[in-house]
Chains A and B, each alone.
Chain A
Amino acid sequence: DTAVSQTPKYLVTQMGNDKSIKCEQNLGHDTMYWYKQDSKKFLKIMFSYNNKELIINETVPNRFSPKSPDKAHLNLHINSLELGDSAVYFCASSQDMRREGANVLTFGAGSRLTVL
């Protein structure tokens, strides 16, 4: 069973469109994240949710809207897509960072978004 699963794996779309990427984790983790990886492989955090509550919003344009219907799911909706949004988006999860002990991030396989 895949621990952190994202869909779709590939997404090709036109500028100006709206698209969503879905993420689900079956690890029982409390915290979920979205990271963006650019063409130089740089990984940057976008959002973090803990038990459905937004914890981190890293000055991401408000065209990006995360939604967490429950603690096992964190979806990413992107409005009015731009060329610069082309990247690989990774979902990840971890135990609650406030818990005692270290909390390793477990990543999904990534969703490659190409905006034409």
Chain B
Amino acid sequence: GESVGLHLPTLSVQEGDNSIINCAYSNSASDYFIWYKQESGKGPQFIIDIRSNMDKRQGQRVTVLLNKTVKHLSLQIAATQPGDSAVYFCAETLLSGTYKYIFGTGTRLKVLA
């Protein structure tokens, strides 16, 4: 299940199930989006990216969906594994030299054995 509030939103999924992590981005002009994974004690690591001229992009076990109409981004992880447990962030930017990535609030993914 998913919980929101003062704490970091958490999504708990059973190992082997698919996970869907959602993100609402802030700037309708943003044209490039990245999903990052942050494991405990480490820096965020790149997972997958998508430009605004696409609505779907697939990687290895991951798919990013972009809905510009409602400024929504999602990350789908197929066959979730224990190693997927981490905090996931979406980031947005404008590829015209703003030098600024804006990060979403993050979602903690817990994979249950």
Contacts of A48 in B (CB 8 A): 99-100
Given contacts A102-B49, A104-B49, A110-B42, contact A41 B32 (CB under 8 A): no
Size of interface on B: residues with Cβ below 8 Å to A: 30
Q: How far, in Å, is A102 (CB) from chain B's closest CB?
A: 5
Taking a contact as CB atoms under 8 Å apart, the answer to whether B51 and A31 are in contact is no
A residues apposed to B, CB below 8 Å: 4, 31, 33, 35, 40-45, 48, 50, 55-56, 90, 92, 97-98, 102-110
Residue B45 is within 8 A (CB to CB) of chain A in the complex:
yes
Complex formed: what's the CA distance from A43 to B104 in Å?
8
Query: Which chain B residues in 57-86 approach chain A with CB under 8 Å?
Result: none
Taking a contact as CB atoms under 8 Å apart, the answer to whether A102 and B51 are in contact is yes
Residue B87 is within 8 A (CB to CB) of chain A in the complex:
yes
Contacts of A103 in B (CB 8 A): 95
Cross-chain contact of A105 among B7, B91, B95 (Cβ < 8 A): B91
6 A-B pairs in the complex with CB atoms less than 8 angstroms apart: A4-B43, A44-B103, A97-B95, A103-B95, A104-B46, A105-B44
How many A-B contacts if CB must be within 8 Å? 65
Given contacts A45-B101, A97-B95, contact A104 B43 (CB under 8 A): no
Sorted from nearest, which 5 A-B pairs have the closest CB atoms? Answer: A107-B43, A43-B103, A98-B97, A48-B99, A55-B99
Contacts of B103 in A (CB 8 A): 35, 42-44
Q: How far, in Å, is B86 (CB) from chain A's closest CB?
A: 11
Taking a contact as CB atoms under 8 Å apart, the answer to whether B98 and A97 are in contact is yes
Taking a contact as CB atoms under 8 Å apart, the answer to whether B32 and A43 are in contact is no
A50 to B, closest residue via Cβ: B99
Complex formed: what's the CA distance from A103 to B51 in Å?
11
Taking a contact as CB atoms under 8 Å apart, the answer to whether A108 and B43 are in contact is yes
Q: How far, in Å, is B5 (CB) from chain A's closest CB?
A: 11
Complex formed: what's the CA distance from A50 to B75 in Å?
30
